[in-house]
Amino acid sequence: MANIEKIFFSPSSTTKKVVEEIANNFSYKKESFDLLNFNSEKEFSSDDIAVVGMPVFAGRIPKTARERLEKIKGDNTPAIAVVNYGNAHVTDALLELVDLLKENSFNVVAAASTVSHHSIFDGVAVGRPDFDDLEKINDFAKKCAEKIKSGEGLSSEIPGNRPYVDYKQLPFTVSCDETLCAFCYDCVSACPENAIPDDDPIDTDLDLCSRCSACIHICPEDARMFSGEAFEAKKPEFENANSERKEPEFYL
């Protein structure tokens, strides 16, 4: 019997939410592979179905997520590819994800770009995915199930360019308010880059940090945040430029 393999990199849990929404439309047994902490080789069979979700970081899937996903192989395994972005730009991320899954012997049957609350600029896409988004995502999932039963593959052209845009490191500072920190060390375990020292959760190695926001979203005391002149200058500009609602897009 098929398993639904939920594979995601979701620092702020929104990509995970979209993957789970799609997966819940299938009645099979489900397994989760959270690439924030899963970093091992894995191979799925042709009887499995993979739902693979990645956030968009400056037009690409995150470098660490890509490196970890490269270790996960299929065997003509049907796959649904999803990139989740904060209402700004998908650029080459969905094409990159589809390409990578095909290289890893997955049979990509469908793809989507979905919209969620922006993980850095919190004034963008507030409350998304909302009711309308989820209705569209669930309709897409039902169509995916029908395609998988029929044995059809992806026929739509995926937007994007090869070579993909270069990876870009954001200049923002990630800081911690020591007066709020409870020293629970949740941020240490959540960080996929090992950028927060085991013995000092107040510190962040900004050379290692990918600005993924996992440490910020997991903090129970709201002690961690983006800060600094570059962030404060960019925030109103970015939020104004990306205030118009974008809709999810689906490719079958």
Instruction: List pLDDT tens digits, range 28-78.
Output: 999 999 999 999 999 999 999 999 999 999 999 999 999 999 999 999 999
When pLDDT is averaged across residues 198-227 and rounded to a whole number, the result is 95
- Report d(CA 197, CA 208) in Å as an integer: 11
CATH assignment of 3-163+245-251? 3.40.50.360
pLDDT band at 1 (very low <50, low <70, confident <90, very high): low
Q: Whole-model pTM above 0.85?
A: yes
H or E stretch at 43: strand 42-43
CATH topology of domain 173-227: Alpha-Beta Plaits (3.30.70)
pLDDT band at 2 (very low <50, low <70, confident <90, very high): confident
Contact 187, 201 (CB under 8 A): yes
Domain boundaries, the chain: 3-163+245-251, 173-227
Nearest residue to 50 (alpha-carbon basis) of 18, 16, 13, 77: 77
pLDDT band at 93 (very low <50, low <70, confident <90, very high): very high
Q: Hunting for tokens 């470098």 — which residue is that?
A: 63
When pLDDT is averaged across residues 160-167 and rounded to a whole number, the result is 97
pLDDT of residue 195: 97
Please report, for residues 1, 60, 135, 148, the alpha-carbon distance to residue 114 in angstroms, rounded to integers and kept in the order given: 29, 14, 12, 21
Q: Hunting for tokens 């507030």 — which residue is that?
A: 126
Instruction: List pLDDT tens digits, range 136-159.
Output: 999 999 999 999 999 888 999 999
pLDDT of residue 183: 95
Tell me how far apart the terminal alpha carbons of the chain are, to the nearest angstrom. Answer: 24
Whether pLDDT at 127 is above 90: yes
Percent of the chain's residues with pLDDT above 70: 100
- Report d(CA 56, CA 84) in Å as an integer: 6
Percent of the chain's residues with pLDDT above 90: 97
Nearest residue to 141 (alpha-carbon basis) of 28, 60, 1, 10: 28
